[in-house]
Amino acid sequence: AQKITQTQPGMFVQEKEAVTLDCTYDTSDPSYGLFWYKQPSSGEMIFLIYQGSYDQQNATEGRYSLNFQKARKSANLVISASQLGDSAMYFCAMREGGYSGGGADGLTFGKGTHLIIQP
Amino acid sequence: DAGVTQSPTHLIKTRGQQVTLRCSPKSGHDTVSWYQQALGQGPQFIFQYYEEEERQRGNFPDRFSGHQYPNYSSELNVNALLLGDSALYLCASSSTRNNSPLHFGNGTRLTVT
């Protein structure tokens, strides 16, 4: 079974609208971290937002928020007021086990969602 | 403050050859991880280096090997190249001293013909 599932291969959204990118995950480890990365055509993976499995509140970073529903094992990314520059690939990723000081286990990525913002 | 830098940006090799990719981590980072991203896919974890040792490895054959130097920079070596090794190779760095997320470089695009 896939550990990270992103069911939307591509999405078209009008500029200034909010957009939700879906992500579901599968793990039996009670301690894990969930990440969203943005990958423009340049190839660089840009960190957007992080949610720990024990975090009580949903993470927010500027226009990005993470809708974390632990019982459903979902971690959807919400982008408010979308901009043309938001057009890119978006990847959901998970790190299992304790998140101890950054130098922990490798990330497992989903297949990504190609988001296109239309003017 | 320089981020993660990788070289070269593009590389073309022939089947059976060997290749070395290089990565300098972000300033202050001591851990380097390597990922392979095939076209249209998400990155896949190859391995991670910390204190000049391989600490964790993904599901990749022994043809993939690496090294980390005392200045934390790292190399990824791939021997006996196959056509299927064509991909974007991403280097990521992080710090064991704080809960920093992975910072990625722009990658090296490897084409095997």
- Check pLDDT > 60 for residue A104: no
Given this model, what pLDDT does residue A97 score? 75
- Distance between A109 CA and the closest CA of chain B, angstroms: 6
**Interface of chain B toward chain A, CB-CB under 8 angstroms:** 30-31, 33, 35, 40-45, 47-48, 50, 55-56, 58, 88, 90, 92, 94-107, 109
pLDDT band at A72 (very low <50, low <70, confident <90, very high): very high
Is residue A103 pLDDT above 60, yes or no?
A: no
Q: Which residues contact A85 (CB under 8 A, 6 or more apart)?
A: A117
Q: Look-up: residue for tokens 């990719």?
A: B21
Task: With CB atoms and an 8 Å threshold, state whether B95 touches A47.
Answer: no
Two tokens, residue A63: 């226009």
pLDDT of res. A96: 85
A33 bridge partner residues: A52, A95
Which are the contacts of A62, defined by CB distance < 8 A and separation ≥ 6? none
Name the residue among A19, A46, A1, A111 with its Cα closest to residue B107. Answer: A46
- Best mean pLDDT range from B51-55, B79-83, B94-98: B79-83
pLDDT at residue B96, rounded to an integer: 80
With 0-12 CB in 10 A as exposed, 13-18 as middle and 19+ as buried, what is A3?
Answer: middle
pLDDT confidence tier of residue B99, bands split at 50, 70 and 90? low
Chain B: closest CA distance from residue A82 (Å): 23
pLDDT at A1: 62
Average pLDDT, chain B: 94
Q: Which of A107, A106, A109 is nearest to A92 (CA)?
A: A109
Kindly tell me if the per-residue pLDDT of A44 is higher than 80: yes
Residue indicated by tokens 């993660």: B4
pLDDT of A70 over the 90 cut:
yes
Q: Chain A, 17-56: which have a CB under 8 Å from a chain B CB?
A: 35, 37, 42-47, 50
A36 within 8 A of A44, measured Cβ to Cβ:
no
Q: Using 50, 70 and 90 to split pLDDT, how confident is the model at A98?
A: low
- Is the pLDDT reported for residue A100 higher than 80? no
- Rounded to a whole number, what is the distance in Å from the CA of B34 to chain A's nearest CA? 9
